[in-house]
Structure 1
Amino acid sequence: MRLVNNHGSVREGDSISYEHFIYYLEQGREIEFSYLDELYFIDNAKKGRALWLGQTLLSGYCVGDCIFWLDSLKINGERLADLLKSQEIKISTIF
């Protein structure tokens, strides 16, 4: 799924749409975000992408098209995709 870049930049503390989040992942970007006062990170390492909370690995690694992986991720029992769609995720940094 390739998206056209019609997204503006995201400032620290802003929410982000699901589509914009996917766009950044497809670009190979790493994303740091907060939810319920916790700081999470999706990296892009040689092993693939993974979701972290501090030094704790919260997911398996994903290689290639990670949309299904992203849709399966849960934080505190809530799907990450749903949290993005309801604008509950706040961006900290996009690398």
Structure 2
Amino acid sequence: MSDEKNFKDLPAGKSISYQHLLFYLEQGREIEFVYKEKEYFISHSLEGRTVWNGQKRISEHFRDNDVSLLESTKIEGRTLADLLKQNEIKITAIF
């Protein structure tokens, strides 16, 4: 990510752009977000990144490919990338 200076804030409670979320993922951050009043979590472990809804894993593990995670993981038939681009995800925490 070349535009690091534009992503200094931690936008809890707000929508963020696809590029903004990708920046945080590339930093190794973990993200909590809400979509349609349901909480989700993007974890980062030795197995790779995955998306959770509570205790239920809703994506495969992705190692070193955050774009694939966003482009492949679907919630209610829509990719995370699409939901981000349409500003339908609200960030609740960034770790």
Q: Is the 8 A contact 1:83 1:89 kept in 2?
A: yes
Q: Is the 8 A contact 2:33 2:39 kept in 1?
A: yes
Normalising by the residue count of structure 2, what TM-score does the alignment of the two structures yield?
Answer: 0.92
| Gaps in structure 1 of 5+ consecutive residues | none
Number of residues paired by the alignment? 94
Q: Please, which moves more after superposition, 2-11 or 36-45?
A: 2-11
Higher helix residue share: 2
| Gaps in structure 2 of 5+ consecutive residues | none
Cα displacement string for residues 26-84 of structure 1 (whole angstroms, at most 9, x for unaligned residues): 00000000000000000001110000000000011011122123211110111110110
Aligned sequence identity (%) = 47
Q: CA RMSD in A?
A: 1.1
Aligned equivalent of 1:4: 3
Query: Could you list the runs of 4 or more consecutive aligned residues of structure 1 that deviate by over 4 angstroms after TM superposition?
Result: none
